[in-house]
Every structure is written in C-alpha cells, then in structure tokens.
Amino acid sequence: MSKPIPEQDALFAAELAADVGVEKIARMYAEAFLGAVEAKGESLDAAVDEFISFIADVLNAHAKFEAVLTSTVIPADKKISTIDRVFAEKASPLFLRFLKVLAIHGRLEIVRAVYREVVKLNDKRKGRIPVTVTTAAELPSDLFDGLAERLRAKLGGEPIIQNTVDPDVIGGIVVRVGDTIYDGSIASQLLNVRQNIIDRSAHEIQSRRDCFRNTEGN
C-alpha cells in the first residue's frame, strides 16, 4: 500500500473554486511545480524535459494507460499505486511526487494542460519567446537564422521558432507572437491592395455624388 503524501506537499496544489477555468488551474499547478524545482536547486530545463518525456513517451505512446490515469471513476489511491509501480524506478522523486499530488487532488485529467503551462512558464523564466512562422515552403537554414536574428532584436528575447508550411501563403511570411500576428505575406499584401482600391473607389464615388449635389444646389 502506498504511503500517504505529506501534508506539506500540498504546495503543489491550491484549493480553487469549482468555476475556475482549466487553464487557470493548470497554471497554478505549473507554477507550484516549477517553484518546487527551484526550491530544491534543480535544473528547470531538466525538469521540463522529464515532463516532456512523460507526455511524449508515455501518454502519447500508451493511450490505455493515459485513460487509467485520467479516469474520473478510478480512485486516487489506485492511481497512486499504479504510478508507484510504473515510475518508482524511472522518474525523479520530485516528478513522481508531483504526479501523486495531481492524483490526490483529482487533477490528473488535466495533466496535459499542466504540461503546456509548465513549458510556457519555463520559457518565460528563461526569456524565451515562442514564435510561429508560416511560409509557403519550409525556410532554408540561412533565411531561418536571419529571421531569428531579426526577431531576437525586435522582441528582446530568445525566439523559439516553429516553422509551419501553408501553401495558401503565396509568398512572404506570417509571424505570430502570442496573440499578435505580423503578416507580411504577398497574399495579405494583395488583399490590402484590393481593399485600398475598393476604399479609394468608394471615396471617389462619394466625392462625385457630393460634388453633383452641390452643383444642383447652386
């Protein structure tokens, strides 16, 4: 039988109102996890890498096992026993304890959300800025490096660039930083030109109407 989790280990969790969103709950657990890593003087990147491995090598590879961990009908003590049996010799003590705390508080079902928040918070601590770059074709390494340098200067941090390919981007580039989109694609430029022509034509038509009305009035 598994030993009970010491009360002080509840630093990983917080009593939250039922109506609080999953993202906010996940962020609370993520902050507690990274805070515990820092308190022990351990490497944040190593802790995040272990979390990444848990998601990629365990949950993504074993859907049935994830279903057990995230089930809302399986009791917490059974989940803890499973965690001990599977990870006792494989996971770090801190990460093992964190999984148990999630189990105790019925939060294993949001472990993927916690993982996403852990990655985001760690990037923020390290001054890393996730950037999504969309192009019609994959960027060559020299252009990729040049773009990274320009973004580094513009953003004041280290850009972590994910290059996605979208054939609908006729040419140029679309850069997304958080909720901000810097659209420099040819397709976007063509749409802007088209809209400018429409706006200009509408303005000219309105001006002629106004001029005609003024002439009639005279």
Q: What are φ and ψ of residue 133, in 5° steps?
A: -115, 120
Same domain (yes/no): 148, 116? no
At which of 74, 97, 124 does a domain end?
124
Same domain (yes/no): 15, 115? yes
Residue type, 12: F
Same domain (yes/no): 156, 93? no
pLDDT tens digits for 166-212?
888 877 788 888 778 887 765 566 556 566 666 676 666 666 666 65
Same domain (yes/no): 31, 132? no
Q: Does pTM surpass 0.85?
A: no
Q: Does residue 160 belong to any structural domain of this protein?
A: yes
Residues 1-30, mean pLDDT to the nearest whole number:
60
CATH number (domain holding residue 195) = 3.40.30
At which of 102, 124, 146 does a domain end?
124
Q: Does residue 213 belong to any structural domain of this protein?
A: no
Residue range(s) defining the domain that contains residue 103: 7-124
Sequence-separated (6 or more) residues with CB below 8 Å from residue 196: none
Q: Does residue 182 belong to any structural domain of this protein?
A: yes
- Number of domains composing the chain: 2
Instruction: Identify the pLDDT of residue 191.
Output: 59
CATH number (domain holding residue 54) = 1.10.520
pLDDT tens digits for 17-58?
444 588 899 999 999 999 999 999 999 999 999 999 999 999
Question: Is it the case that residue 4 has pLDDT exceeding 60?
Answer: no
Residues 88-112, mean pLDDT to the nearest whole number:
94
Q: Does residue 218 belong to any structural domain of this protein?
A: no
Same domain (yes/no): 136, 80? no
Instruction: Identify the pLDDT of residue 186.
Output: 58
